[in-house]
Each structure stands twice: as structure tokens, then as C-alpha cells.
Structure 1
């Protein structure tokens, strides 16, 4: 979601404002931008399950010109003055396998590198505060602006949490008006390594989809 939020914020940012810009975010000094929304979708009932279930959840993202941002239950701070190469600390709440023990705080850091104008590399890493295990994610996003109202983002990612998994997916953003957008997403997920052969795994692969209505402010 983070790349999606940043993409929408960048598209919604008003160019040509007279106020001085922050070198970190290129936003006017002292300003903030945010997104709220609601999503509904379907995915496997639990990781590795052959059953599927629907789900609904809220979406929230806020960014300040200083580089601080909040994304759902995660928060971070951009430290670089180069807008195309950002890094900094980040606190995330990672999941636990099959919901055992719920989520846990995972302090760590992130790197976000805009390799080309339409290609972005994002990495997160951290250590679980309770289990002490390293969590890491590496994602590649290709951003294709089809026209003024439609943007397609293709992404590939690999993740190590309580289990290893790989993802391929696409997100389509449709600007409905000045502040409202529709985001449709479909993602193929496949367990990897020992997670694919763990006891209780009924299905190694699954397809998740969701649609969300977003409001920028």
C-alpha cells in the first residue's frame, strides 16, 4: 500500500505553489498530505489454507513535509534530502503465523529508490520485538501513467516474515474527481522455502484481490 499512497499523493500534490519546498518530500514547507479510505477484498482464509474468505479494512496514510509519515499501524521518517533516494527508520507491526500471538512491533528501517522515472525499488527490514526474528521485504514497482485519470502499477516482491513468500501483482488507480480515487488490486502469492512444506499447508499459492475507495486531503 505504501507505494500506492505515495503515488497518489504525488499525483495530488499541487504544482507551482509559492511556498518554499522541503528538499526531502518536495512538499511546501509546513504542509501535510493524507489519504483515508475503505477496502473490500478476498484472500485465503489463513496462509496456506485451501479456503478463501472476504475481508474489509480501513486505509490510512499521512505524510508531512518534514519527511515523517504514518501508514496504517506503521510509522517512519525520511532522512534524505534527495527525493529520488530515501531512507530512514521505520516501525512496523508484522503478522504472526496463523494469527498466533497477533501482530508484534518490528523496529527497523527502509530504503526507497526511484531507479528510473517509472521504476521504484523499495526495501524494508526489521527485527520482531517479541520473537527476535528478522523480517524483510524487497519490492519492485513499475508505475505506468496511462492518462491523467488512470495509472497502472505492476509489482513484484519477496518477503520473509514468519514465512517466506513471493508476490506478483497489479494495481489500477482511477481518479474519480479532484480528491476521490478508486484502487483495484490483484496479487498472486506463493509460499517459498520451508514455509511451502510446513505442516498444515493445504495450498502453496493463492490469488488475492481488493477494491478500495480513497479520499485525498
Structure 2
């Protein structure tokens, strides 16, 4: 999953009812925590701009505490605002492998999450790679449609700058199978932008990525 997916998970899986003693940051009961763990299977580019595709299996993990601290995969951060509809704070992540670099690298930065309307959310993340010093950034707009108590559909438009520049249109569907189990499926159309689309070795500017995963909440 991308670095911003924990925002989508939080929006899609958050329960509407809360206990009376709430944290002003997360609206969770004071001293509580919420978590998700699961596994997903998907298919995407074997590398950015490649004409070949690759199947993969990856673990999914998310944990949030009422204080505002959270962990999602290889990212960790802290929500600092007392306004639930406008959140911001620091984030530390392990970014994806950069072209020409030897492996992944720590990236420190920050995020903003603004619920513009009850079903429209603006997301912004930025950070600087510890090894290459490059700025990584992502801007996304989500439309969150709760179809009923068990089904949530999230549509997203995003632009990303990391080892390459790209634009993305995607959809994510969450289906609550029971009190603790749920199914998450997603599909995204990705297109390289700017100079990244004309970089040496680019065989294909556009691709479609999809994944499906089973989650357990605790």
C-alpha cells in the first residue's frame, strides 16, 4: 500500500459510535487503541514504466492510539490537532527503493488531513529522504461514500512525487464481513507525468494496479 492508505483505512473503518469519555484528537475512548492486521494479494508494474507486470503478496497492519499516535506498515506518526476534521503532525516512513539507490531509506516529514465536507477529504504528505535528500510528496482528494453499515466505497484522485512523478485515479471498497473481519479491494490507474514519462527505460507510461486483502480488527 502507498503511504497515504492509512488515512483511507481510518476513514473507511472508523465506527460512528464512541464512548462518552473521548479523546479530542481521535474521538476514541480515552486510553484505548484500535488495530487492523491482514494480508493482501495484488498485481502492478514490476517497476515504474515497465511493460511487464508482477504479482505480489504483502502484509497489512494499522494501529492507532487515542493519543493520536499511529503505525501503518512501515510508517509511524502522530496527530496533533484537537480538531478531528483538521489533523496534522509529523510522520516517519521507510520510502520505496529509489532509482540508482541501494535499497529503501528513512523519510521524515509531515502530513495534513482535512475533512472538507462530511464525505470529502483532502490529504497532503511530504518528507525528505535521509539518503538522497530528495523531497517526496503526495496530494490526494478522497470521496468517501458509506453505502450502508457494511459497505464503504472510497474514490481517490492523487498526484505523487517520489522517485518518479505520477498521477493516480483509484477506488477502494471495504466490506465488513463480521464484527472483526473485513475484505478490502482496490484498483488504481497510474500514469507517469512530466519528465518521468520520458525518462530512459520507460516502456509504458500508464498501468493499472489492483489488490485484495482480508483484514482482522482488534
| TM-score range normalised by the length of the shorter chain | over 0.9
1: distance between equivalents of 2:158 and 2:83? Answer: 24
Structure 2 unpaired stretches of 5+:
none
Decide whether aligned partners of structure 1 residues 16 and 143 sit closer, same or farther in structure 2, where only a CA change above 3 A counts.
Answer: closer
Kindly state the Cα deviation for residue 53 of structure 1 after the two structures are TM-superposed. 1.0
Would you say the 8 A contact 1:119–1:140 is kept in 2?
yes
Q: Deviations over 1:113-160 (max 9, x none)?
A: 000000000100011101011110001110001111111100010010
2: distance between equivalents of 1:159 and 1:206? Answer: 15
- 1:101 aligned partner: 102
Structure 1 unpaired stretches of 5+:
none
Divergent runs of 4+, >4 A: none
Would you say the 8 A contact 2:98–2:104 is kept in 1?
no
- 1:17 aligned partner: 19
2: distance between equivalents of 1:121 and 1:45? Answer: 29
Kindly state the Cα deviation for residue 103 of structure 1 after the two structures are TM-superposed. 1.2
1: distance between equivalents of 2:69 and 2:22? Answer: 15
- 1:169 aligned partner: 170
Kindly state the Cα deviation for residue 69 of structure 1 after the two structures are TM-superposed. 0.3
Q: Deviations over 1:170-205 (max 9, x none)?
A: 011111001111011000000011111111110000
2: distance between equivalents of 1:167 and 1:139? Answer: 9
- 1:4 aligned partner: 8
Kindly state the Cα deviation for residue 108 of structure 1 after the two structures are TM-superposed. 0.4
TM-score w.r.t. the length of structure 1 is 0.95
- 2:183 aligned partner: 182
- 1:150 aligned partner: 151
2: distance between equivalents of 1:64 and 1:189? Answer: 33
Kindly state the Cα deviation for residue 169 of structure 1 after the two structures are TM-superposed. 0.5
Would you say the 8 A contact 1:47–1:98 is kept in 2?
no
The number of equivalent residue pairs is: 214
* CA RMSD, Structure 1 to Structure 2 (Å): 1.2
Q: Does 1:128 align with 2:129?
A: yes
2: distance between equivalents of 1:85 and 1:17? Answer: 21
2: distance between equivalents of 1:47 and 1:98? Answer: 10
- 1:33 aligned partner: 34
Would you say the 8 A contact 1:167–1:188 is kept in 2?
yes
3-state SS of the aligned residue for 1:97? Answer: coil
Would you say the 8 A contact 1:142–1:154 is kept in 2?
yes
Kindly state the Cα deviation for residue 7 of structure 1 after the two structures are TM-superposed. 2.2
